Amino acid sequence: MRYYPIAAAAERAKTGLPGERTVGNVVCGARQVCRAAGLDLEAPVVHFTRPALDHALAMFLRRGLSRLTAYTYINNVRALFAHWAEPYYADRLWDVPRLEFPAFRALAPRYVRPDGEQLRQVKIWYATLKGEMWLAATLMLEFAMRNGDVLRMTKQNFIEKDGQRYLDYTPHKTALTSGRRVCWPIHPDIWNRINLAGGFDAFDLTDDILHSIGADMRHLGFRGNKSAYELRKICIDHVYQHFGAELASSISGDDIKTVTRYYADPSKPTVGNIRIVDFL
């Protein structure tokens, strides 16, 4: 496990991935699994056997962790055995066997739309924001950005085509899978406010800003470690409600199946009273 960040740094120099934040999460999660499985923190990767992972999983659930959280830690160990890492382990003459993972399935719960009062409180809160807090929240609430992508933004992501300003970027999370770009129009009110502040470079977007937004969202009743992420969900769900699944997919950078499970609530129709026979 100590060698994994070294290998990751070498791979990142060649391909740009895995990111430093991802590597930190992998190492942190693997350490949690080590402790739960009773393994030494410096244990070689070959000690991550299926019985050891089974034991760690049982310990996590016994401590009251959700199935999703428990399996997230197990998945961190899976990342230690990623295909890109194999040549680096081979360079050190490590014969790393194929890892057996416990049979376990834990999907994140489907998205449930917040009630009207909670959304009203979000709108009131958003109207009070200034400076970096406003811009970071805007990128999430108006453009459905993930926290990490907010921190990666540069002024080069703000482009102009045919007289219209757009926010143009590739979500980091899906860069190596779908590679889908997001190109979403910027409302003049947002663009003017950025320019009045001195342009995008006048803002210093940091982890501390995102942590503050998360704390505010928890105060508004959104629970969990990723409470700021709820702004992305609210954005996608409202695009889904008003413009349909295709545009919700466009702003999210995800496919429609992912959108309707994790970011929108199709169980709550928003079309009002209709008669299908009237369309015939």
> Domain with 133 in it: what CATH number?
1.10.443.10
Give the chain's residues under pLDDT 70. Answer: 1, 45, 97, 99-109, 176-179, 224-225, 268-280
Same domain, 51 and 124: no
Same domain, 76 and 192: no
Domain assignment present for residue 275? The answer is: no
Domain assignment present for residue 272? The answer is: no
Contacts of 178 (CB under 8 A, 6+ apart): 253, 254, 255
Domain assignment present for residue 196? The answer is: yes
Q: How far is CA 144 from each of CA 30, 235, 252, rounded to the nearest angstrom?
A: 30, 6, 6
Same domain, 75 and 120: no
Last residue in a domain, options 53, 75, 91? 91
Same domain, 125 and 243: yes
**Residue 176, pLDDT score:** 64
Same domain, 171 and 251: yes
Same domain, 67 and 16: yes
Total of domains in the chain? 2
Please tell me the distance from the alpha carbon of residue 187 to that of residue 61, in angstroms, as a whole number: 46
Same domain, 158 and 43: no
Q: What is the pTM of this model?
A: 0.66
List phi, psi (to 5°) of 76: -60, -40
Same domain, 256 and 170: yes
Range of the domain at 21: 4-91
Same domain, 244 and 142: yes
Same domain, 251 and 140: yes
Last residue in a domain, options 91, 124, 143? 91
**Residue 275, pLDDT score:** 46
Same domain, 237 and 152: yes
Helix, strand, or coil here: 110?
coil
Same domain, 46 and 120: no
Domain assignment present for residue 276? The answer is: no
Domain assignment present for residue 269? The answer is: no
**Residue 90, pLDDT score:** 86
Domain assignment present for residue 169? The answer is: yes
Residue 261 buriedness (CB in 10 A; 0-12 / 13-18 / 19+): middle
Domain assignment present for residue 111? The answer is: no
